[in-house]
Chains A and B, each alone.
Chain A
Amino acid sequence: MRLKVNPIACEAHGMCAELLPERISLDDWGYPILDEQPITPELLDHAKRAAQACPTFALLLLRDEQLGRFS
């Protein structure tokens, strides 16, 4: 499973980085920088919580098949 950000929905609330600092850090303007690596089983619960906490539903936790390709 991997994390993906919908950059259009993201409004830089920053809760994701607080809840999953192992994979998410914030850039100069408060927007998330995602570590590309897959989510390990130990981090899975934290990743789910981070995705649920996002106020704008911008953080998505997807299976590898769902990721697709950006345009």
Chain B
Amino acid sequence: MNAPDQAPAGLPRLLAGMPEHGALGLAEHRVIHGELPYSTRRERRGAGALIELVEQAGLRGRGGAAFPLARKLRAVTAAAGRTPLGKRPIVLANASEGEPASGKDRLLLESLPHLVLDGGVLAARAVGADELIVCVDESAGAALRSLTRALSERERAGGDALRIGVQTVPAGYVSGQESALVNLCSGGPAKPTLTPPMPFQRGVRRRPTLVNNAETLAQLALIARNGPRWFRALGTRDDPGSALVTLSGAVAYPGVYEIEHGAPLPALIEAAGGSTSALRAVLLGGYGGAWVDGVAIPQLALANEQLAAHGASLGAGVMVLLSEQACPVAETARITRWLATQSAGQCGPCIHGLDAIAGAIEEVAHGAATPGVGERIARWCSLASGRGACRHPDGAVRFITSGLEVFAEEFADHARHGRCDACASAPELPLPSHVELAAAA
């Protein structure tokens, strides 16, 4: 572990040494952050102590659920202890990043792959796993190349005494869901499965499986070196440490930024060059997250406890700023329809519910709404939520419901008068590029 005076104060932490082009090489990575702890054989045997450090640090998952990492590590270790024949657990590093407006995991793999790999290796040692699989979107060419190069670098430097593989994940919003990833790595389709059993109990090839977001592992890589007190020097008590966020929309320099939990949103916007127009609202947490009205932006602090008062959470750190020039109704209709197509197609309430809601919102957007459409949408939202095998419909319903609340005026206006002038303007909420091309054709 690094001595306290060697540990970097303040920001950047994960993004320290971030190269302009290409990836940070292994040697430079070691210089900036220090050697990888728990590397010698003797140290590896004591790697379980890492879980205690993680617990003191209070690191929560960065994939959206904010689940305490220490609890997950303990659960996997306990499950492994209970398996007959002592099945070794397996670790999945989730960098599939199916959220269209998110770019942090891709950035980590492209530019700072050794942070993610260090974290994956450390997590594997902590739970006694003998295999690590890094899951990457199949179309993320640069990330895959960078990852492959980083793995050869590590091989040449002696390797990590761990089997490390790469699994490409097909495009799809739910493909990166925990059980979908386990399904894929077990040879099945990238579709969620029924839980229980949870992945930590029985996952890839029936082994206890630890699934962690790439950024969570990157944070772990630094906690192992610098300790829990260093980690907690930034952030809030319930949301300690730093976080990577992807800021896009009506901002001068959209991209990935590293913030301290609890930082005010206006400060982040300013650091990103300021907003490019007056802001109508901000979407927090991606397309499974929630809208917050623009008037509240000056008071917003980026920590889950504070955001909860506004009905939102950070999720995977996705933030999209919606300008006053956009039509929120058209945007909501577009995204809702896309969310409906992204259903894995396994559960009736999700397939039919999201389709029905998307249809109704499209009707409102075109001014063709029939009376009672609000009640119908509300009923379908309650029918779609909580009745699927995964949380996709729940997230979509949260996105839709918060939009109906925040943009109540625009929705009422559209229901009465049909399309507005802003409907024809270029969309501001991003969708995967091939989807956009299809819509434009």
User: Contact residues of A with B, CB < 8 Å?
Assistant: 5-12, 27-31, 33, 68-71
Contact = CB atoms under 8 A, between A and B. Distances in A.
Contacts, number: 58
Contacts of B380: 28
B352 A7 contact: no
A29 B348 contact: yes
B277 interface: no
Interface residues of B, number: 26
B389 A7 contact: yes
Contact of B198 (A8, A11, A69): A69
B178 A8 contact: no
Given A7-B194, A8-B193, A69-B196, A29 B347 contact: no
- B contact face: mostly helix, strand, loop, or mixed: loop
A28 B198 CA distance: 30
Interface centre among A12, A29, A30, A68 (most CB of B within 10 A): A29
A71 B387 contact: no
A45 B356 CA distance: 36
29 contacts: A5-B387, A6-B389, A7-B347, A7-B348, A7-B349, A7-B350, A7-B387, A7-B389, A8-B194, A8-B346, A8-B347, A8-B389, A12-B348, A28-B356, A28-B379, A29-B349, A29-B352, A31-B348, A31-B349, A31-B387, A68-B197, A69-B195, A70-B195, A70-B389, A71-B177, A71-B192, A71-B195, A71-B198, A71-B389
The 4 closest A-B pairs by CB, nearest first: A68-B196, A7-B347, A31-B348, A29-B352
A11 to B, nearest CB: 8
A9 B346 CA distance: 8
A36 to B, nearest CB: 11
Of residues A11, A12, A30, A70, which shows the largest number of chain B Cβ atoms within 10 Å of its Cβ?
A: A70
B389 A68 contact: no
Nearest to B348: A31
Nearest to A60: B194
Given A12-B348, A68-B195, 5 more contacts: A7-B348, A29-B353, A33-B383, A71-B195, A71-B390
